[in-house]
Amino acid sequence: MRVLQAFRYAIDPTPAQERACRSHLGARRFAFNWGLALVKARLDAKARGEDVRVPYTLPALRREWNRAKDNAAPWWPENSKEAYSAGLDGLARALKNCFESRAGKRAGQRVGFPQFRKKVRRQSVRFTTGAIRISDRTHLVLPRLGRMRTHEPTTVLAECIQAGTARILSATLSIDCARWYLSFTCEVERGERQPTRPTSVVGVDAGVRYLAVLSTGETVDNPRPLPKAHRQIARLNRALARRQRGSGRWKDAARRLGRAYARVAHIRADAMHKLTTRLARTHGTIVVELLNVSGMLRNRRLARALADASLGELRRQLGYKCFWYGSQLIEAPTFFPSSKTCSGCGAVKATLPPSAQVFRCDHCGAAMDRDLNAATNLAALAAVSVTGSGPEALTARGRDVRLAEHGEQSQMNREAGSADAQKTGAAVLQGAAA
């Protein structure tokens, strides 16, 4: 099977190459702002009743740019044409998202009209044509930037390209906290794989106290990189506040602060990748909960801890890794009362405060860890989706499936504390047990 896969490498450009990289980032930003100014001017002219054409799409923006680039940016030959094309492409996508959001064709939060871009900590530019290749084990080549050294070997991607199982589609150059990265988007031929335990079913409850609790009883420790680095980050923030904004020492302090935050993000990502890869390679069926993370982050007292646990990243990574390794992913509805339901008898509590670490059933008297109880309830949903005695779900291997909300199941999308949701959750779990 052919899949899209990204290979990201940290690169070490020379001082001349770094200046050229920053020039490409600036060229992309300039093209975006130039195109946005043109669109706004055409919209204002159209509002005045003038007969003008507004360039909304990428081909239209490119035609306008090619006609005006000699006057608007006489220095444009200094950079690759891909830098300007990337800026115009970003603008075209932003306009499309805005108009689709206004028309109700785009799900999620409302997308506003594009804003002018400025220098930020994270910037990127994408290359789709030209000399894009792996030169050797520690070097790669980009258009107009030449041969650049990598901090880590590119052996895996180079061997796949040489064997004909991978093809580079595009390359994205980015800077984050003074560190340069290059990400290759590739079309990769992956062989059919099977998890080591294809009949195993595991429920995964993501949380703050533990990174994840499995229905098997295993607990995965949360590295909690942000609290551990909090003192250092506070000290660096104070040092940054004492510097004159824009000065050389201010830039050095900002760079040190950015590296501290980047280390926190890298520790968090490393732990999550190790967990999701192990789960997808080991278990045949994985059941997770589709959490309303944005709603949970509105709790100001818990927002920092919830964000540090990266609850949404668990489901996102399992979504494609289960497809890679031949396992099945099932999602429980957002408001399924996994924590409030007794995994033994199916009785549902009316309320369960976040401070309660032990679940105690008022009906059968069972007592067990709160997170383990939730993971056990999630694992029980796998039997429901396969047997058809409850919510319907696709069972094709490798598909990212959700429990369909038919009939009484749609009631579970209400608040978990409501009586309807509690009765429905109990009925589903009792049906699975039967």
Q: What is the DSSP letter of 326?
A: T
DSSP per residue, 361-398: -TTT--EEEHHHHHHHHHHHHHHHHHHSSSS-----TT
Is-catalytic flag, 371? yes
Give the residue with greater pLDDT, 243 vs 415: 243
228, two tokens:
């551990």
What's the rounded Cα separation, in Å, for the pair 340 and 351?
7
Alpha-carbon gap, residue 92 to 375, rounded angstroms: 43
When the pLDDT of each residue in the chain is averaged and rounded to a whole number, the result is: 85
Judge whether residue 393 has pLDDT over 50.
Answer: no
The predicted model gives 367-382 an average pLDDT of: 86
Both tokens assigned to 348 = 């549902």
* Least confident among 149-158, 249-258, 400-409: 400-409
Write out the two tokens for 236.
Answer: 């660096």
Task: State the amino acid at position 120 in one-letter form.
Answer: V
Domain ranges of the chain: 2-14+124-189, 17-117, 197-225+265-433
* Marked catalytic residue, from 64, 89, 205, 331: 205
- The DSSP annotation for 43-58 comes to HHHHHTT-------SH
Pair type for strands 283-289 and 197-206: parallel
* Tens digits of residue pLDDT in 293-320: 878 888 888 888 888 888 888 999 999 9
Q: What is the mean pLDDT of residues 232-239?
A: 95
Catalytic: 205?
yes
| CA pair distance 374, 338, nearest whole angstrom | 5
192 catalytically annotated:
no
Out of 64, 308, 369, 371, pick the active-site residue: 371
3-state secondary structure of 244: coil
Q: Which of 64, 82, 89, 289 is catalytic?
A: 289
Q: With CA atoms as reference, report the closest residue to 361 among 335, 341, 337.
A: 341
Q: Which residues pair with 167 in a beta bridge?
A: 187
Using pLDDT thresholds of 50, 70 and 90, give the confidence band for residue 250: very high
Q: What is the mean pLDDT of residues 237-257?
A: 93
Tell me, what's the pLDDT at 400? Answer: 42
Q: Which of these, 361, 396, 395, 382, lies nearest to 431 by C-alpha position?
A: 382
Helices (H) then strands (E): counts for the chain: 12, 15
Q: Give pLDDT tens digits for 327-363.
A: 999 988 888 888 888 888 878 887 878 777 888 888 7
Burial 197-234 (b: 16+ CB within 10 A, else e): eeeebbbbbbbbebbbbbbeeebbebbbbbeebeeeee
Say if CB 176 and CB 122 are below 8 A apart.
yes
The mean per-residue pLDDT over the stretch 162-175 comes to: 93
Look at residue 386 in the predicted model and tell me its pLDDT: 52
Which stretch of DSSP H or E encloses residue 31? Answer: helix 15-47
Alpha-carbon span 223 to 226, nearest angstrom: 9
* pTM score, whole prediction: 0.80
Residue 122 burial (CB < 10 Å; 0-12/13-18/19+)?
exposed
